[in-house]
């Protein structure tokens, strides 16, 4: 049986490890096929590719794109892309600018709430030139002693409907899926139960996703209960969607999100790996 993980983050976005370190951790955990899926960027791919080649691990080029569907923020995994595709640099640069603008607005709001004016520079430093996101602000809030833990930062400042929950004008679902397809990849809805929508609403998302060329859905990831997992597999089967699974790994603090740790999903004819490993 192939041991794989098709949803992983490095320091190129909001992960804790450098891409090469992440590849080594995957190998140490027995992962044979991994997809690096940093948020809105391919910046870690070259480093990860070199490290994977050196140890004989199969690397799938990926990303996790942020987009809008019916004014909701949705994440779409792109798997098996050609990172040399001519449109990659422009699309990545556009998303980088959107994230920078959002970061500036988050900083302004936090400062108005009494957070030190150094919050933006500190969050930028934690992003290390990669795609800045709320986890970097969480680290900055801990450093500034506004909170004691990263979770507390989200609970009080950065979580849904909190002062730092700033929306951006992300590309719409159609544009994100079209970009993935143009780059030769497979578009997959990431962690569908995390959007706090009913399965009726999720079916609407899937219908629109398929209309614009989406092909897969993630049906195995940490935090998914067995009933939800069965419903997602049922939905994927009914809608003729490819199935994917991964740890959504960001850091090693939680053992249940280590590379390769997620509800088991058999690699059958409906599994996305059958397309990715052709």
The pLDDT tens digits of the residues spanning 111-155 come to 999 999 999 999 999 988 888 989 899 999 999 999 999 999 999
Q: Among 91, 60, 52, which residue's Cα sits nearest to residue 78?
A: 60
The yes-or-no verdict on residue 195 having pLDDT over 70 is yes
Give me the phi and psi of 244, to 5 degrees please.
-135, 165
CA distance 1 to 60: 18
Where exactly does CATH 1.10.150.650 map onto the chain?
Answer: 92-158
Confidence of residue 255 (pLDDT cuts 50, 70, 90): low
| Mean pLDDT score, 198-227 | 96
Cα end-to-end distance, the chain, whole Å: 16
Chain segment 107-118, per-residue pLDDT in tens: 999 999 999 999
* Tens digits of residue pLDDT in 32-62: 999 999 999 999 999 999 999 999 999 999 9
Q: Tell me the backbone φ, ψ of residue 160, rounded to 5 degrees.
A: -55, 130
Task: Report the CATH fold assignment for 92-158.
Answer: DNA polymerase; domain 1 (1.10.150)
Counting beta carbons within 10 angstroms of the beta carbon of residue 198, is it exposed (0 to 12), middle (13 to 18) or buried (19 or more)?
Answer: exposed
pTM value surpassing 0.85 = yes
Sorted by sequence, the CB contacts under 8 Å of residue 236 that are 6+ apart come out as: 216, 217, 219, 242, 243, 270
In the chain, list all ranges with CATH 3.20.20.140.
4-88+172-276
The residue written with tokens 């996305």 in the block is: 272
Strands 216-220 and 242-245: parallel
Judging by DSSP bridges, how do beta strands 72-79 and 216-220 pair with one another? unpaired
Instruction: Using the predicted structure, report yes or no on whether residue 256 has a pLDDT greater than 80.
Output: no
- Measured CA to CA, the distance from residue 267 to residue 244 in angstroms comes to 9
242-245 and 186-189 strand pairing? unpaired
CATH topology of domain 4-88+172-276: TIM Barrel (3.20.20)
């Amino acid at each position: 049986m192939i041991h794989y993980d098709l949803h992983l983050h490095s320091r190129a976005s909001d992960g804790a490890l450098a891409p090469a370190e992440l590849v080594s951790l995957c190998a140490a955990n027995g992962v044979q096929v991994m997809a690096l899926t940093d948020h809105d960027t391919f910046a870690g791919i070259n480093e990860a590719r070199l490290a994977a080649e050196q140890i004989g691990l199969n690397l799938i080029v990926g990303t996790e794109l942020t987009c809008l569907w019916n004014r909701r923020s949705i994440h779409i995994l792109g798997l098996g892309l050609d990172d040399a595709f001519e449109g990659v640099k422009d699309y990545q640069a556009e998303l980088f600018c959107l994230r920078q603008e959002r970061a500036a607005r988050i900083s302004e709001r936090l400062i108005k709430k009494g957070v030190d004016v150094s919050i933006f520079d500190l969050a930028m430093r934690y992003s290390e030139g990669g795609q800045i996101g709320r986890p970097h602000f969480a680290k900055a809030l801990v450093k500034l002693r506004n909170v004691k833990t990263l979770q507390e930062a989200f609970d009080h400042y950065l979580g849904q409907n909190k002062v730092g929950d700033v929306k951006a004008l992300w590309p719409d679902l159609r544009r994100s899926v079209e970009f993935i397809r143009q780059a030769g990849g497979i578009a997959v809805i990431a962690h569908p139960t995390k959007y706090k929508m009913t399965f009726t609403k999720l079916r609407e998302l899937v219908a629109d996703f398929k209309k614009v060329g989406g092909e897969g859905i993630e049906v195995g990831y940490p935090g998914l209960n067995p009933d939800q997992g069965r419903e997602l597999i049922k939905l994927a089967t009914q809608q003729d969607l490819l199935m994917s699974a991964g740890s959504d790994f960001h850091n090693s603090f939680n053992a249940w999100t280590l590379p390769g740790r997620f509800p088991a999903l058999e690699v059958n004819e409906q599994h996305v790996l059958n397309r990715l490993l052709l």
